[in-house]
Structure 1
Amino acid sequence: MSLETKKIVEFLELVGRLKHVKRTGWVLLDINDCESIAGHMYRMGLMTFLLTDENNPTNLDRFKCLQIALVHDLAECIVGDITPHCGVTPEEKHRREDEAMKEISALTGIAGDKMYEMYKEYENQSSPEAKFAKDLDRYDMILQAFEYEKRECTPRKLQEFFNATEGKFNHPFIKSLVEELYKQRDEFEQKFVVNGQA
């Protein structure tokens, strides 16, 4: 095995960790059988396929959106999923993640350079595609929160995630999905009120 292919296998093993690392926000709230970091990025990636000529008036580059979605949390395979509840300053979080991304990128040459570039674009919110990926990140989080509320029959239990993202969505397509999610969440809560369970 050449040095280059050895490094690529090392890269793939690092990335593979994300399939098994649970998202910290859910772990801290004792959510059973919660999603992994890779699961979160996978659904974000699939959401980029939903952009069409009709709902994408600013002509976002779908492939670039997909690339950003797939790398935005890549550093977590080394540093873990650091949340505001972890006692790490935002500056330190960004420093650790940047170092991790440099380490990851160094394993794959030109491909790594591209991944690092996409990661920095997301971190700096320096393109329309990066901003869209941020919308996807937030939307996937509240969609996941609602799925847990439904699964556990606990309406509004995860309200803090909705509070944290309220008014922060920008893309019209994602705003329409947020509106639908809020509607379904209200209906879910009403069922409990009607049945005397709330």
Structure 2
Amino acid sequence: MNNERFQKQLEFIIEIDKLKQIYRQNLVIGTRRHENDAEHSWHLAMMAILLSEYAAEQNVDVLHVVKLVLIHDLVEIDAGDTFAYDEKGYEDKADREQKAAERIFNILPPDQAEELMKLWCEFEAMETPEAGFAASLDRFQPLLLNYNTGGHTWKKPGVVSEKVHKRIEPARTRAPQIWEYATDLIETAVAKGMLKP
């Protein structure tokens, strides 16, 4: 097919395959293997579909949430994954990710590049009900993995329960039942010695 739009879309599809090579700090449950960003994004998309009833906004647009969670980490192809508790890494995270978003999304035809950039910016801002719920899931998923892998990343230097509580905070208003469950898990993890108090 000799269609410039199609060629750009294919180029983007091939480019984002690199997400499978970006490894996160979390382990895949039941293994000693680190989760990659593509697996994380897929897991979040499934969580969005299955847990949408726990969004604070009862009419949250599930397809929109799925788009947000599938797109939000594509920038890590260039910017890399910044560990949630890496204060130094967060100093230039926004700049690295902005540059990455501009390069990666602009592989696409202009209308789709603009759509993905808007979705990425929406996720980052966490202002809409969908973005707030998506961000809540993005913070809840690693907590679930940590709890079910004996607190793997929680054992890294500087990670304490207060920081884990702070990380899940967006769920307090965007997904209160998930937030409540997460805070219970955190307290249980402390009691079991998986997480420092």
- TM-score class, shorter: 0.7 to 0.9
Equivalent residue runs for 1:84-95 within 5 Å = 85=86, 87-90=88-91, 92-95=92-95
Deviation at 1:141, TM superposition (A): 1.1
Distance 1:63 1:162, change over 3 A: farther
The structure whose RCO (Cα within 8 Å, separation 6+) is larger is 2
> In structure 2, how many angstroms separate the alpha carbons of the residues matched to 1:161 and 1:144?
16
Cross-structure match for 1:73 = 73
- Normalising by structure 1, we get a TM-score of 0.75
Q: 1:26 to 1:141 in 2, by over 3 A?
A: closer
Q: Closer, same or farther in 2 for the Cα pair 1:163/1:43, shift >3 Å? A: farther
How many equivalent residue pairs? 181
- Relative to structure 1, is the Cα distance of residues 81 and 161 closer, same or farther in structure 2, using a 3 angstrom cutoff? farther
Are 1:19 and 1:39, in contact at CA under 8 Å, matched by a contact in 2?
yes
Structure 1 partner of 2:148: 147
User: 1:161, CA displacement in angstroms?
Assistant: 6.8
Question: What residue ranges of structure 2 are gaps of 5+ in the alignment?
Answer: none
Distance 1:10-1:136 versus aligned 2 partners, 3 A rule: same
1:160 counterpart SS class: coil
Instruction: Confirm or deny: 8 A CA contact 1:71 1:115 kept in the other structure.
Output: yes
1:63 Cα deviation after fit: 1.2
Does the aligned pair in 2 maintain the 1:142–1:162 contact within 8 Å? Answer: no
Residue 195 of structure 1 is matched in structure 2 by none
Correspondence for 1:133? 134
Matching residue of 1:63: 63
Please list every run of 5 or more consecutive structure 1 residues that lacks an aligned counterpart in the other structure: 193-198
1:164 alignment partner in structure 2:
163
Q: Contact conserved, 2:52 with 2:62, CA < 8 A, in 1?
A: no
- Match of 2:96? 96
* C-alpha deviation, 1:124, in angstroms: 1.4
Rounded Cα–Cα distance in structure 1 between residues aligned with 2:90 and 2:140: 24
Larger strand proportion of the pair:
2
Residue 114 of structure 1 aligns to a residue in which SS?
Answer: helix
Paired residues of 2:49 and 2:62 also in contact (CA < 8 A) = yes
Shift of 1:157: 3.8
User: Which residue does 1:174 correspond to in 2?
Assistant: 178
State the 1:130 CA deviation.
Answer: 1.0
Which structure has the bigger radius of gyration?
1
Summarize the Cα distance change of 1:164–1:99 in structure 2 as closer, same or farther, 3 Å threshold. Answer: same
Aligned-residue identity in percent: 23
Paired with 1:125 and 1:68, the residues of 2 have a C-alpha distance of 10
